[in-house]
Amino acid sequence: MRALRSSTIVLGLLVAGVASSNWGAKLQLGGAVFESSCGGGTHATVKFVAGGVDEMRGLSSVRLVLHGVPFTCANVPLSEPCATTDTDYPRLWTCAWTSTDGTTSTSEPLYAGRKADTFDGETSGIGVYVDCPPPGETFVMAHKVPGADGSDVSRIPLQLSLRHHGAGVPTNILFEDGSAAQAITFLDSDPPSPPSPPLPSAPPPPPAPQVFE
């Protein structure tokens, strides 16, 4: 499949709130020790889509930056969202792409990742995110909208939602504005038409007739 291209994508620095611990999970980075909490009534939300754009091209993934999600799964119940690099922990996140006709393409189970936020060479916080892979080629091709006025750029308008499966059934992680999904439009340029094959050369003229006297 041709790569879906994006005009302006800048992956933002990932910063999520870090609360004081009420159960003692800690992460040490260099000389800094960070504590994470799963208590206090904080609800997980999608803080923003990295880059802050709604028309995308050429992305291997779309990054959703989270808020209210612990950056470690240590001592966190399986039913609650968290981030981990432990491959023994189950993958409990999925991304769902929904088209305008209601058809949905759901990703394979994913981990939530984490990334340090640094300032002046020092780690000042830990961010949590989920990288959502784009939908497959068959799904994209089935929902392309041709470009207007003869444009060779097709549009694939979709809605992206994030789900956590720790409770046995999918739980939608809402965006901070309260919506269940974010509009994402992929752009795809159709390849130029191949050049027409050259016309065959005209056959050579027949030889002049011979005259015998």
Q: Tell me the pLDDT band of 201, cut-offs 50, 70 and 90.
A: confident
Average pLDDT, the chain: 75
pLDDT of residue 190 exceeding 90, the answer is no
Tokens of 70: 């612990």
pLDDT of residue 56 exceeding 80, the answer is no
pLDDT of residue 117 exceeding 60, the answer is yes
Q: What is the mean pLDDT of residues 129-137?
A: 92
Sign of CA dihedral 170, 173, 174, 175: negative
Mean pLDDT is lowest, of 25-29, 64-68, 83-87, 103-107, for 25-29
Biggest alpha carbon–alpha carbon distance for the chain: 120
Tokens of 39: 């208590």
Write down the pLDDT at residue 158: 93
Where on the phi/psi map is residue 28: left (φ > 0), alpha (ψ -120 to 50), or beta?
A: beta
Residue with tokens 């050429």: 58
Tokens of 68: 């209210």
pLDDT of residue 17 exceeding 70, the answer is no
d(CA 56, CA 187): 6
Burial class of residue 106 in the structure, from the number of CB atoms within 10 Å of its CB (0-12 exposed, 13-18 middle, 19+ buried): middle
Residue type for position 20: S
Percent of the chain whose pLDDT exceeds 70: 67
- Residue 92: name the closest of 113, 109, 67 by CA: 109
Q: What is the mean pLDDT of residues 177-183?
A: 94
Cβ–Cβ under 8 Å, residues 44 and 81: yes
Write down the pLDDT at residue 30: 45
Sign of CA dihedral 71, 73, 77, 82: positive
Q: Would you give the distance in Å from CA 26 to the centre of its chain? A: 29
Write down the pLDDT at residue 51: 63
pLDDT of residue 141 exceeding 80, the answer is yes
Q: Tell me the pLDDT band of 55, cut-offs 50, 70 and 90.
A: low
Q: What is the mean pLDDT of residues 87-111?
A: 95
Where on the phi/psi map is residue 79: left (φ > 0), alpha (ψ -120 to 50), or beta?
A: alpha
